[in-house]
Structure 1
Amino acid sequence: MIDWLDFVIPCLHDPIPAGRVMSILPSGELEYDVPKRMQATGTYESKMWVRSQGGDGEGRATELYISGNPAKFLQGHNVFGCELVCDLAAGVVRKILDTVGISSDLTVAQALKGNFSVKRIDITRSFSFASRNEVKAVLSSLAIKSRSRMGRAQTSGGTVYHGKQSRRHTLKFYCKAEELEAGEKHKLPAELEKTPIKEFAETLLRAELTLRSKELIELEKTEGKHFTPKVLDALYFDYFGRIEMAAQAYIPSEEIKLLSRSIRDSYLLWKEGVDVRPMMSKPTFYRHRSELLPLGIDIALPNEQVECEIIPLFRKVTGRPVGIPDWAYQQGLVYQSRVGG
């Protein structure tokens, strides 16, 4: 699905009355004078930003800059959703322009043809696991064992990032169920609380690719028409394919201190190449193993056999890819193009 979209689309119109931001130098000279952006309200009070820009010399703006989450704006949630970029842009344009009283037909037609500039796009996929705990274990493993051309992973608030501060592209992983519980910004609207959406999200690992303007220019993917489903798939798996997973990992020293003494001793012996299985009872061994697995350590495998093995990400992240469930269409919980054309 498309989880974020920033785009600029041609639209000759009277500027949307959102106010202006001005800067005046100490000399009294006007440094800049730009229109402010305003929030447009979509489904279940979800928001996207919109701003008039450009000019025709007669007081009319020539473009709209639109930014936000099209899935939330059009259907009220982003647990699953459409990834037809042109259809989404057209739906967003229709809803925004109808709200502010600007004729939308010509601009919607341009959106459906893909005649708009893309400044940022977030492409996301979901993978289903047996439980939320398994999702969290996978995230722990990704945090410790994954690496890419941008180096090792960074973590923040339960999310695992590659290129978190990059101005070009970012890859991130997170537990969708925990995101829905992370506060007002992310929670489901009250109207959707009794639908199957929340239960569906319970076991989902979300893996998301953000492509920003500099990267899009280099890729020569700067227009809506460029983002066909085939291209989206190719981009997604190309970037995530650059992440590698170590078959085993070492636990950072600060985390070792948090382990119980017995678990710590088992780990340190294993790290030195000792087979710890004969040193304890079978139940104790499997208890220690189960506590270390979420950290990316399997003491059942000899350390010296696996410590240097590097494997592609999607051979290691073994969750089941999930799309839009049938019941979402039946219950009207997913946006389907209603703009015609």
Structure 2
Amino acid sequence: MTSFFIDQLFIQQEYQEGNLPFVGTHVIEKIDLETGEKLPPSVNKKILEGSFSTKLTVRCDGRKVRVEGNPSRWQRVDNLFGLRTIDECVSVYNNILKQLDLPPFTKTTRFHHRQTPDGKSSSLIGNGAEITLIDWTRNHEIGKGREQSFIRGLSSMQIGRARKPKLYPDGNTCNWGEASTWSMTKLYNKAVELKRHLKKAEKNSNQKDDNILTYIKNIIEYCEEKGVVREEHSLRQTMLKRYNLNWYGVVKETDFVEHIQDIENAMKTIHISHDEHETIADQLLNHSIVKSRQAANSTQSYAILWQQGMDLRQMLSDSQFYEHKARLKKIGIDIGQKFDVSRLCPTLKRSEVIEVKSLSIPAWYKMPVVETSNILPFKAYA
């Protein structure tokens, strides 16, 4: 698990004795209209905002405490690398609960059977916190400019339990099982995502600190230079319960390993290549056959018409025809001959198998420190 870290964690704990303070933005009282019985109230979530526009949500209805968010991102500029243990993440959350006068999440030490209606199977309930969603994440170093080739290559495969890929139009993101209650796997170009966040940060008056913006730009440049593709596995409540991965204090980080191997297994079955193509116009310019982009594009356009079966001798004057013919022959295209698709001049500049490595942490990168996030202030956002 050394290369994986936790990117998101939803966790809750129920206190049978109740009497906890309500935490949310409003409370809805409920009454059964048939019996007149007062039902447990429902409380919607409260959004907390920390430094650098980071957000978490907290909710307490008097008995159940729940926190949702990204503990690795909380109070940090970024989360290229994050917290590696569940204990560290819970420590971040417990500090927040303490400041809201709520009890901390505790580890499960014993179980008992929950009372269920007749005919329903019995279920276990623990005396500690329950994980309802957890995202495990790692970074791959693909090589500069190869991110889309890598993502497109893996998007050709179903993974896991026949989960079909969904490749986004820009080619920078692919999801498997996006709407699943079981699990979702995701690959995306990290530099592209960071650039989107940078635009928001530059518009935000609270984040126009030159040192912060410079630091974010350094991270983007590092991701672009290394060709970073982020791999994420979001394990949902149904799956966590099925494999007993939901009880904090009982489950260990290593217990998740076998459930986040879909991308690793897919990478072992295919070789993904990265192709670099060079247009006819680029070849003319790079070989100094023409001096301007306009001239290169003009000759390229006639080459394309020739490939489509047009008779250029009927379209051009003799001097124009031989001028373009002379240019194109220098890169292996003879428009004096009838076009033959089997003899098409390739425009492939280079093709190579993509090598995947685990992304190393640069010496200047600021790793998350739980103690630091626990001393920074936060406020209620909604």
The normalised TM-score by structure 2 is 0.60
Partner of 2:245 in structure 1? 221
Native 8 Å contact 1:75 1:335 kept in 2: no
Q: Give identity over the alignment, percent.
A: 15
Shift of residue 96 of structure 1? Answer: 4.6
Question: Separation in 1 of the partners of 2:233 and 2:83?
Answer: 16
Partner of 2:324 in structure 1? none
Partner of 2:57 in structure 1? 49
Partner of 2:369 in structure 1? 335
Native 8 Å contact 2:133 2:236 kept in 1: yes
Letter in 2 for 1:80: F
Q: Unpaired runs of 5+ in structure 2?
A: 110-126, 274-303, 309-339, 375-382
* Superposed counterparts of 1:203-218, under 5 Å: 203-218=227-242
Partner of 1:193 in structure 2? 213
Partner of 1:240 in structure 2? 263
Letter in 1 for 2:70: N
Shift of residue 40 of structure 1? Answer: 1.3
Letter in 2 for 1:165: A
Partner of 1:279 in structure 2? 343
Shift of residue 14 of structure 1? Answer: 1.5
Q: Residues 152, 17 of structure 1: CA spacing in aligned structure 2 closer, same or farther, 3 A cutoff?
A: closer
Native 8 Å contact 2:245 2:256 kept in 1: no
Letter in 2 for 1:180: L
Shift of residue 263 of structure 1? Answer: 10
Letter in 2 for 1:128: E
Question: Separation in 2 of the partners of 1:327 and 1:184?
Answer: 19
Shift of residue 180 of structure 1? Answer: 1.5
Q: Residues 233, 68 of structure 1: CA spacing in aligned structure 2 closer, same or farther, 3 A cutoff?
A: same
Shift of residue 186 of structure 1? Answer: 7.5
Letter in 2 for 1:120: L
Native 8 Å contact 2:108 2:129 kept in 1: no
Larger helix proportion, structure 1 or 2? 1
Native 8 Å contact 1:74 1:92 kept in 2: no
Shift of residue 31 of structure 1? Answer: 8.4
Native 8 Å contact 1:43 1:72 kept in 2: no
Query: Does the alignment pair 1:146 with 2:157?
Result: yes
Shift of residue 136 of structure 1? Answer: 1.6
Residue 162 of structure 1, aligned match among 176, 191, 206? 176
Partner of 2:332 in structure 1? none
Q: Secondary structure at the match of 1:67?
A: strand
Q: Secondary structure at the match of 1:146?
A: coil
Q: Unpaired runs of 5+ in structure 1?
A: 54-60, 250-259, 265-275, 299-315
Residue 321 of structure 1, aligned match among 351, 354, 358? 358
Question: Separation in 1 of the partners of 2:365 and 2:248?
Answer: 26
The normalised TM-score by structure 1 is 0.66
Q: Residues 22, 151 of structure 1: CA spacing in aligned structure 2 closer, same or farther, 3 A cutoff?
A: same
Query: Does the alignment pair 1:136 with 2:148?
Result: yes
Native 8 Å contact 1:173 1:206 kept in 2: yes
Query: Does the alignment pair 1:68 with 2:69?
Result: yes
Aligned residues, how many?
A: 273
Shift of residue 172 of structure 1? Answer: 0.8
Question: Separation in 2 of the partners of 1:78 and 1:9?
Answer: 26
Residue 7 of structure 1, aligned match among 3, 8, 11? 11
Letter in 2 for 1:49: T
Letter in 2 for 1:20: V
Q: Deviations over 1:10-36 (max 9, x none)?
A: 566322252124678999988884111
Question: Separation in 2 of the partners of 1:36 and 1:68?
Answer: 15
Partner of 1:18 in structure 2? 25
Question: Separation in 1 of the partners of 2:168 and 2:102?
Answer: 43
Partner of 1:123 in structure 2? 136
Q: Deviations over 1:192-211 (max 9, x none)?
A: 32223333333210011010
Q: Residues 22, 112 of structure 1: CA spacing in aligned structure 2 closer, same or farther, 3 A cutoff?
A: closer
Q: Deviations over 1:102-161 (max 9, x none)?
A: 166xx16x2699942000001011011221x21122112222x22223244112353111
Native 8 Å contact 1:86 1:111 kept in 2: no
Q: Residues 187, 221 of structure 1: CA spacing in aligned structure 2 closer, same or farther, 3 A cutoff?
A: farther
Question: Separation in 2 of the partners of 1:111 and 1:186?
Answer: 38
Native 8 Å contact 1:9 1:115 kept in 2: yes
Native 8 Å contact 1:127 1:322 kept in 2: yes
Native 8 Å contact 1:169 1:212 kept in 2: yes
Q: Residues 190, 209 of structure 1: CA spacing in aligned structure 2 closer, same or farther, 3 A cutoff?
A: farther
